[in-house]
Structure 1
Amino acid sequence: MKIDLILRNGHVWTMGEPGRTHALGILGGRIVAVGDDATGLEADQVVDLGGRTVVPGFHDAHAHTGRFGLGLTQLDLSDATGLDDIYQRVVRRAADLPDGAWLIGHSYEPAGYGGGHPRRVDLDRIAPAHRVWLKHRSEHMGVGNTLVLEDAGVFGIDQVRGGIIERDGAGEPTGLLQEQAQALVNDLLVPVAVRELVEAIGAAHQRYVAEGLVACQEAGIGGGWIGLSPVELAAYQTALREGKLRVRTTLMPAYETLRELNGHDTDELELGLDLGLTTGLGDPMLRLGAVKIFADGALASRTAAMTDDFSNEPGNRGVLQLEPEELRGRIIRAHRSGWQVATHAIGDRAVGLAIDAYREALTRWPQADARHRIEHCSVTTPEHVSALAELGVVPVLQNYFIHTLGDAVLSNVGPQRRDWVYRLRSLLDAGIPAAGSSDRPVADGAPLKAIQRMLTRRTAGGQAFSPHEAVSFEEALRCYTVNAAHSAFLEHQLGTLTPGRLADVVVLAEDPTAVPTDSLDQIGIAATIIGGQPAHDPDDLLG
């Protein structure tokens, strides 16, 4: 038999049987042979890897590609050194924009520069003729100037359910809007045009393949404060048709996109997309995944729903974006209608509510393999860990948060709860297939950066963050390959380099086991192969 491609003379981590080997054989976009079985075949092309390390393509189980792609043309504040620096950048960007235009910035982080949030009055002073909206790194809050707040109707609103409008001592809005209060501004910015989204997806995916990503899961499209357009799926279809969708994509519709279905009484499809579409429709290149439900906020902004007060803000236990009974109802209805459910739950109270709802749903309406998820699953008690294992719930984690948000998070949760935050080792030891992800653009999405933090567990400020939760490189790699595929019911297609699986391969420029752990994030991507075809080949390794 003559096949398409043989990759030989490599150090191949198959993440399946036979473990590690030296060669791969590819035909029709799939792995057909490994090791000696591969080198014993004829092929149209044979590539000598020169001893390079080969791993399954990385899979980001939770990202926001549209927002990341749009952010590539917005004002990047991720490396701002303080409020003065932020304000100077706003002034420079405003000089290039016509009066009345939107000036959107993203990724500012007070913990990174030791200051507070930008303020409405200061934004009014430096950019009075522009609509200024600056998004916090977490994407769970943002600051607007007066023009934005007036357009959004903020001055006529007392509070927003599931959100916070911060006010000064005189009761005036400071400009900071948290959680669901952001929807007031988001409603001014959406829908984003399909053409603009297509270009954003294309730009984002160009970055993804250069980082070794072959698959990602879009955590909330089409509705709610996270969605960018009610026809967002059309943008992904268009990107696929035009060759701009370069990474395998699983789309997670926001719960707000679902509606009552009027099928037969015995169908038990009470809630869904038109025609009864649910999780799994599509193919490995573009498909529907879980439905996304928001329970709470974020740790860095102290809006995650906690059982006890944040240690540095007495009286604040965060925010539930839905009342507990409404959250329970949404989860149960989605489960009954055949959806895999992905609940954003960060604080221990929110995690507990999601687990309770999953338990009730699975008890009253059993499914053999519902494989529900908790997105972030950041603060988990020992009891939560046991329940996740018992119920088969998949935690989808973002370990790069340890670096970018860790200093603020440690301050917010205090020493008594730090061992519950951003677990990994204890989840894997309990037999839980925790999936790796980035939450991009909240954090840098390069998988090797997250994998490094799974091993080192140090914050940007140098603090050790529960080092007993560290794992090995192979375990971290499993989170970003095998477990990520499992989280989307794709384990029979992706995640391992074994016969029958799709030929989604990453060639690393260096051996990750031979470099210092602190240098893992410096390893280059020599090639990314998706479906047996080169998606990224900067040095023409594949010819």
Structure 2
Amino acid sequence: MRLDAIFHNGRFRTLDRERPAASRIGVLNGRIAGLDEELDGCGADIVVDLGGAPAVPGFNDAHHHLSLAGKALRELDVSHAAAPSLDALYEAVAQRAASLPADAWVVGSGYDQNKIGGHPTAEALDRVAGGRPVWLVHTSHHMAVANTEAFARAGFTDLADLPDVPGGCVVRDAGGRAEGLLQETAMQLVERVLRPEPAAEWIANIEAASRAALSVGLTSVTEPGIGVVDGIGNGPADLDAFMQARERGLLGVRMTLMPYITALREVGALEPGNTWYGLDLGLRTGFGDERLRIGPTKILSDGSLIGRSAAMCCDYHDTPGNSGLLQFEREQIRRFILEAHRCGWQVATHAIGDAALDVVLDSYEEAQRLHPRTDVRHRIEHAAVTSEQQVARIAALGLIPVPQGRFLSEIGDGLLTALGPERSQLAYRMRSFLDAGVVLPGSTDAPVVAQDPLLSIHDMVNRRTASGAPIGLHEAVTPEEALRAYTIGSAHAVHEEHVKGTLARGMLADFTVLSDDLLSVAPDRIGELTVGATIVGGHIAHDTGALEVT
């Protein structure tokens, strides 16, 4: 039998319980045709020598804003690594402004007030921008800062004229004038003049992010939100941008896309006595192929933990009187979930605070009671603060929580400050979910934090903040459990475990070659591992020199 490729001299961790290890994998038409002795007597168009390197099933990020990650790569970086203080941030803005035409926007992202001592202000940005509009997005992407010229471009020449926005907050001074910071839905006051960006720009974002994802071993990504200007995404033609990127060979990773809930609508009659809520033509979860497909619909129920806008059952530890907010009224969240569920959608609802989580759990339970469906796998994106009762309820309802391991280190110190020592023990639980029988996925929420799966797996196992403080050590998982989350678990979260997550005959030939064995190195060294090569569908998509091809 003639195959497309044979990869040999590798140490494959297959995660297939019937054959947990292999040294050879054969590929035909993008799928695994056989392993080890099953390949005896087979030839191949190309033969690839791994040089004894370890390999695992391709990493799969269950919650990764690929297009926004690409945008962040192409705009001003004001993250703590690039601008470690407010003064450094203002200097970075000044330098970028000086390099731009007089009427151009200065757009950047990645700052964290927890690390640099506060939020930038419109007044301070005015002093360094040379009359240009400035828009800086917080690392959480749940808030942003505009300067006076940016507000003017959005139609607000008097900073006292900005309206209050349901589900958001305009931070004001004692005189009622906007200081610059816009939280949650209030961001739309300025974003509406920046979006949608030209299609060519969004395609370039996708291309840049795809290359970066392959370089860290990702072969699949689920993008949690596309398709709207007033929520997550760039605009109503986001799917076309991904299609164009794929057609031009610019999209190297497999994508599952989540249309944002406000892209769905009452379309009209589905059949006598019944209406369709969703996208035109009846498009819904599951449409597409193994390269590009429609996944769940995404809903934002609340805000950000480190921004103190997630809806909590009690006040934040460091801001008495503030318990966060819901982005939509409780009844609206309920209606979104019930209608999407009724019309066949898998639903993925962002719920960081425990108060928001109760609203979402009630809605999921009611939806299933009114319109029973089998194996739906509705999701809780982040599930950041969960009580024992909520963990049990998530398991009983068959839901999938999607916590982020990398949050524990990159923004963990801010998380500890926001929650305090007692409630931080409930944060980003993983062991509790596994013990309750939940299938746990792996994810980063990039570009909120670094997209590298190895760093995220390291944090799932070690659970230390950037300063070294422990954060819920009782919720740590083993290296193998973390690896299974980043492969099998993420595939399961979008109903794809039958084609992804393990290296077995008939599965997609997606795998990642590593510098050392993830399951053998000391747990505190996992973050030091590197990716040597990334294989998607049997094709070499990224290689640092780890492979020898003949």
The match for 1:181 is 186
| Paired residue type of 1:44 | D
- Alignment equivalent of 1:164, drawn from 166, 169, 176: 169
The match for 2:505 is 499
The match for 2:303 is 297
Rounded Cα–Cα distance in structure 1 between residues aligned with 2:52 and 2:25: 13
The match for 1:308 is 314
Alignment of 1:57-96 (within 5 A): 57-78=58-79, 79=81, 80-96=83-99
The answer to which of 315-324 and 517-526 deviates more is: 517-526
The match for 1:443 is 449
Deviations 1:413-432 (A, max 9, x none): 11221121011111111111
The match for 2:103 is 100
| Paired residue type of 2:77 | D
The match for 1:141 is 143
Alignment of 1:239-258 (within 5 A): 239-258=245-264
The match for 1:124 is 126
Give secondary structure in 2 for the equivalent of 1:251.
Answer: strand
Rounded Cα–Cα distance in structure 1 between residues aligned with 2:195 and 2:47: 49
Q: How far did residue 194 of structure 1 move?
A: 1.2
The match for 1:201 is 206
The match for 1:414 is 420
User: Is the alpha carbon distance of 1:43 and 1:391 closer, same or farther for their aligned partners in structure 2, counting shifts above 3 Å?
Assistant: same
The match for 2:56 is 55
The match for 1:150 is 152
Structure 1: which 5+ runs fail to align?
none
Q: How far did residue 73 of structure 1 move?
A: 1.8
Rounded Cα–Cα distance in structure 2 between residues aligned with 1:68 and 1:347: 24
The match for 1:20 is 21
Give secondary structure in 2 for the equivalent of 1:203.
Answer: helix
- Alignment equivalent of 1:324, drawn from 323, 326, 330: 330
Q: How far did residue 540 of structure 1 move?
A: 6.0
Rounded Cα–Cα distance in structure 2 between residues aligned with 1:461 and 1:266: 61
User: Is the alpha carbon distance of 1:174 and 1:345 closer, same or farther for their aligned partners in structure 2, counting shifts above 3 Å?
Assistant: same
| Paired residue type of 2:49 | D
Rounded Cα–Cα distance in structure 2 between residues aligned with 1:264 and 1:47: 52
Alignment of 1:266-285 (within 5 A): 266=272, 268-285=274-291
| Paired residue type of 1:400 | R
User: Is the alpha carbon distance of 1:266 and 1:430 closer, same or farther for their aligned partners in structure 2, counting shifts above 3 Å?
Assistant: farther
Q: How far did residue 267 of structure 1 move?
A: 7.7
The match for 1:383 is 389
Rounded Cα–Cα distance in structure 1 between residues aligned with 2:273 and 2:535: 42
Rounded Cα–Cα distance in structure 2 between residues aligned with 1:270 and 1:212: 39
| Paired residue type of 2:253 | V
Deviations 1:495-531 (A, max 9, x none): 1111111101111122223433333223221111111
Deviations 1:89-138 (A, max 9, x none): 1111111011121001110112223x111111111111141111111110
Give secondary structure in 2 for the equivalent of 1:261.
Answer: strand
Rounded Cα–Cα distance in structure 2 between residues aligned with 1:29 and 1:284: 10
Are positions 1:211 and 2:212 aligned together?
Answer: no
Give secondary structure in 2 for the equivalent of 1:262.
Answer: strand
| Paired residue type of 1:9 | N
Structure 2: which 5+ runs fail to align?
none
Deviations 1:393-437 (A, max 9, x none): 111121100111111111111122112101111111111112111
Rounded Cα–Cα distance in structure 2 between residues aligned with 1:220 and 1:232: 10
| Residues 226 and 257 in structure 2, CA contact (< 8 A), matched pair in contact too | yes
Are positions 1:487 and 2:487 aligned together?
Answer: no
| Paired residue type of 2:175 | A
| Paired residue type of 1:238 | Q
Rounded Cα–Cα distance in structure 1 between residues aligned with 2:36 and 2:386: 42
| Paired residue type of 2:13 | W
Compute the RMSD of aligned alpha carbons.
1.4
Rounded Cα–Cα distance in structure 2 between residues aligned with 1:183 and 1:342: 22
Give secondary structure in 2 for the equivalent of 1:416.
Answer: helix
The match for 1:509 is 515
Rounded Cα–Cα distance in structure 1 between residues aligned with 2:424 and 2:40: 50
TM-score of the two chains, using structure 1 as the length reference: 0.97
Rounded Cα–Cα distance in structure 2 between residues aligned with 1:189 and 1:8: 50
User: Is the alpha carbon distance of 1:267 and 1:205 closer, same or farther for their aligned partners in structure 2, counting shifts above 3 Å?
Assistant: farther
| Paired residue type of 2:65 | H
| Residues 458 and 523 in structure 2, CA contact (< 8 A), matched pair in contact too | yes
Q: How far did residue 269 of structure 1 move?
A: 4.9
Rounded Cα–Cα distance in structure 1 between residues aligned with 2:28 and 2:275: 40
| Residues 269 and 336 in structure 1, CA contact (< 8 A), matched pair in contact too | no
User: Is the alpha carbon distance of 1:84 and 1:18 closer, same or farther for their aligned partners in structure 2, counting shifts above 3 Å?
Assistant: same
The answer to which of 516-525 and 240-249 deviates more is: 516-525
| Residues 62 and 216 in structure 1, CA contact (< 8 A), matched pair in contact too | yes
| Residues 231 and 262 in structure 2, CA contact (< 8 A), matched pair in contact too | no
| Residues 23 and 39 in structure 1, CA contact (< 8 A), matched pair in contact too | no
Rounded Cα–Cα distance in structure 2 between residues aligned with 1:470 and 1:270: 43
Alignment of 1:358-377 (within 5 A): 358-377=364-383
The match for 1:2 is 2
The number of aligned residues is: 542
Give secondary structure in 1 for the equivalent of 2:269.
Answer: coil
Alignment of 1:404-483 (within 5 A): 404-483=410-489
Are positions 1:109 and 2:95 aligned together?
Answer: no
| Paired residue type of 1:146 | T
Give secondary structure in 2 for the equivalent of 1:298.
Answer: coil
The answer to which of 424-433 and 37-46 deviates more is: 37-46
| Paired residue type of 1:431 | G
- Alignment equivalent of 2:237, drawn from 231, 236, 242: 231
Rounded Cα–Cα distance in structure 2 between residues aligned with 1:3 and 1:269: 49
Percent identity over the alignment is: 45
| Paired residue type of 1:362 | Q
